[in-house]
Every structure is written in structure tokens, then in C-alpha cells.
Amino acid sequence: MDFELDETQREISRLAADVLGRESDTPWKAMGEAGLLALAVPERLGGDGLGVLETAVLLTEVGRRAVDVPALATLALGVLPIVRYGTPEQQDELLPLVVEQHGVLTAALSEPSLPLPAEPGTTARWDGAGVVVSGEKINVPHATAAQLILVSATLEGRPVVVVVDPVADGVSTSDGRVRLDEAPGQVLGVGDGAAEGTRQPAPQGSAADGIRRLALAGACAVGDGVLAGALDLTVKHVGTRHQFGKPLSTFQSAACQVADVYIAARTLHLAALTACWSLDDNDLGTAAYWLAAEALPAVHTCHHLHGGLGLDITYPMHRYYGMAKELTRFVGGVEHRLGAIDVH
């Protein structure tokens, strides 16, 4: 397998690095103005018509700089599922929120004690031209800022994705949590004008299964960048910080710890790239497990190598640690990811 980025992907990486590397109080707006939020949007709607790998390259750059923007939520959990599974009418209605308004989308997939379940406990039923959905979701990124929420639910015995307006009746959002009580919405991939009895998602469960895979792929892409960015910061620190008249990097203990972080970072990079390329459950499971098992301990080592400087809130290391912690929680933690790997 060729792990080299093509020219388009390298240009996306360069542009993202330039935009995110600038001193800006509004990095999300800057990304939108640079066209980075429209990478996967169809060309007819003002986008570039690109795919998962190009979006993953952007997400990795966001993680590399530990920038607090809703990129994972909007792009991997919102734009990509709508492009892949939404009807043309749904795409025309929903995607301009991101392309033109630089709005925020997210997805509510996990439930209490059920990280990213294939069969959601949240339920939906037909109600007139749409559906109503009820249930509780956790670990919802940027829940309070989102203008649309894609909710995984079970409808007539099959998993679907329901697009919900967070200000609609029956929806309440708080930090990372969404509660739904007969909240109105539309099923992703099913037109509102479909006749009664013909409103079936096709193929069965494709959107619900697809958004789960895209969520894992996106999280791994961000995690790849987080670990790479933390490592870069640490290498610079131990190379310039002196003790006993020598750089920290010349001490064997420090060098060995940096080497361990490098191995973890390179492994996650290759696993994440493979998972984003294939979207195969086995590849996704391997990458998500490595993210959950290795990213946070590796960033912890970077913290340790920085000494007291790593705890300074004006220094960026705490952002990497916070993002690694959130990503670990998002994918379900080490034990869950290990149990989810298909050993057959």
C-alpha cells in the first residue's frame, strides 16, 4: 500500500497548516473562507467533491495544532454522511449551512454504556411526513453549538440516521449530551415526499453503519494529528532545554521516552490512514484501539518531559492532552475498543 499523499492531499495539508498556523481569534471562520469546510461538498453546491481521505488530511492538521474547532463534528459526523447518504434534496437543504454560513453540524451516536452502537437504543417512529425520535445520547461533540444533529436511532427494527433541529420541541442539549422526547426529524436518505409504506432507507442501515465508520475514521485522523503535534512540540523542547549544561535530548532516559512516543505516533498514523482509506471494520477497530490505548499515555509522557512547563495554561501542551482525552472517550475507551475488535 502506498502511504504517500497525492498532490491534492498535500495541497490541502499545506493550506490547512497555513490557515491554522496564523494567529486568529476565529479559526473556524478562516477555514470556511479558505474553502476547507467544503472539501467533500458536491461541486454543484460550491464544494470540491472530494472524499474521506481529503477530509482526514484536514482533520489531522487540526489535531496537529490542537485547534479548538468543530471539525470532527461538522465534517466527519455531518458533511460526509449527508454527502454519502442524503438525498439530493437533503444535500441542497443542509449543506449550505456549512458552505455558506460556516455553521456547525454534529452527530449523536453514543448512548449511556453503549459507545457508538451498531444497534441504537434510541427509537424513532413515523409521524406524518417525517419521524419523531426519543432517547438519550452522550459524548456528542459540540452539542450546544450545532445547528443540526444527526441522530442514530432504530426505526421499525432497523438502524437509521435522523436529522434533528436542536431547537425543535422535544430536544434538549447540554455539554456533550442530547435528550430527545418525541423530537421531530427527517430520515437521512429518505425523501419527505415518499408515499406511506415506501419510506425505506436503501440499502438497509447504510447511513447508520456508515456514520459509525466515519466517526471512528475521523476520530483516528484527529488523534493522528494530536499525537504528531505533541511529539513535535516535545522534540523541540528537549532539544533546546538544557540541564547540567547539556540539552535534555542527550540524556538516555529522555531519548528513550521520546522514541516510545515516536513509535506510538507512527503506528497510529499508519493505522489511521489505512482505516480512512478502507473504512473496513477491522482496520477501523485496530486504529481506534491504538488511539484509545496509546494516544493518552504517549501525550502524558510528553507532558512529563516538559516538566512544569507542560502544566502552564499559556503553553499548548494542555490542549493536546485535552484532545487526546476527549477522543479516547469518544471512541469508547480501551476496554471497549479491545472487545470490539473482530478476532475471527
CATH number for the domain including 16?
1.10.540.10
Q: What is the pLDDT of residue 2?
A: 67
pLDDT in tens, 52-107: 999 999 999 999 999 999 999 999 999 999 999 999 999 999 999 999 999 999 99
**Residues spanned by the domain of 118:** 106-202
* 111 and 186 within one domain: yes
Question: Is 246 inside any structural domain?
Answer: yes
Question: Is 1 inside any structural domain?
Answer: no
Question: Is 254 inside any structural domain?
Answer: yes
Question: Is 2 inside any structural domain?
Answer: no
- The total domain count for the chain is 3
> Last residue of some domain: 202, 222, 245?
202
* 128 and 98 within one domain: no
Q: Side-chain half-sphere of 146: how many Cα atoms within 13 Å?
A: 35
* 81 and 140 within one domain: no
Comparing C-alpha atoms, which of 127, 186, 194 is closest to residue 160? Answer: 186
Asked whether 209 and 159 are in contact (CB, 8 A), the reply is: yes
> Last residue of some domain: 179, 202, 225?
202
Q: How far apart are CA 219 and CA 127, in angstroms?
A: 34
Residue numbers of the chain with a pLDDT score lower than 70: 1-2, 191-205, 342-344
| Helix pair angle (52-64, 252-278), 10° resolution | 160
* 254 and 232 within one domain: yes
* 319 and 231 within one domain: yes
> Last residue of some domain: 102, 120, 140?
102
* 214 and 335 within one domain: yes
* 322 and 225 within one domain: yes
Q: What is the pLDDT of residue 242?
A: 82
Question: Is 241 inside any structural domain?
Answer: yes
Supply φ then ψ for residue 339, to 5 degrees. -70, -25
* 285 and 273 within one domain: yes
